[in-house]
Amino acid sequence: MAENFEPKIVAFLCNWCSYAAADLAGTSRIQYPPNVRIVRVPCSGRVNPIFVIKAFQSGVDGVLVAGCHPGDCHYQNGNYFARRRFALLKRLLEYIGFDNERLHLAWVSAAEGGKFADVIREVVESVRKLGPIEKLVKRDEVLKDGS
């Protein structure tokens, strides 16, 4: 089952670096899996951990949070705050037994179109191995969407 399972990935990309990297990957015709749905945020520091948890609850199989390399942040320290926030969130989710490889974190600068594609490929493959999400996802026959 795992081979033809197409995971749904949500990626929170910071506008100045990782979103720009996604653009660059596109303009450079670099291929990467289409599973990712991109949410553009001003900065990785804008990503509230509840966004990530809410995504998992809605049935998203994997989440990527990407920002500028430390020191490159357009707002100086947004990514430093994100670094602390997601260090704690990742360990807390792991602690409660949630399969932690569903949450991926990456620094991708605006010039790293190639790295962006690699990161997406890596995220999709690692989540594909885990199969559809079971923990924290709302199982609700009425509210189950079509797929």
Please report, as ranges, the residues that interact with other proteins according to CB under 8 A: 49-50, 53-54, 57, 67, 70, 77, 80-81, 83-99, 104-107, 119, 135-140, 142-145
In this structure, are strands 103-107 and 9-14 parallel, antiparallel, or unpaired?
A: unpaired
Smallest separation, CB 96 to other proteins (Å)? 4
**DSSP 8-class letter at 46:** G
* Residue among 15 and 29 whose Cβ is closer to other proteins: 15
Q: Least distance from C-beta 9 to other proteins, angstroms?
A: 15
Tokens 């942040």 correspond to what residue?
A: 73
CA angle 71, 75, 76 (to 5 degrees): 30
Q: What CA–CA distance (Å, rounded) separates 31 from 8?
A: 17
CA distances from 125 to 22, 46, 81 (A): 18, 27, 28
Q: From the CB of 91, what's the least distance to other proteins, in Å?
A: 5
Pick between residue 42 and residue 83 the one whose CB is nearest to other proteins: 83
Question: 9: closest CA among 43, 60, 81?
Answer: 60
- Minimal distance, residue 34 CB to other proteins, in Å: 21
Q: Which is nearer to other proteins, 46 or 83 (CB)?
A: 83
Neighbours of 93 (CB within 10 A): 20
Which C-beta is closer to other proteins: that of 30 or that of 137? 137
Min separation Cβ 122 and other proteins, Å: 8
- Nearest CB to other proteins, comparing residues 7 and 45: 45
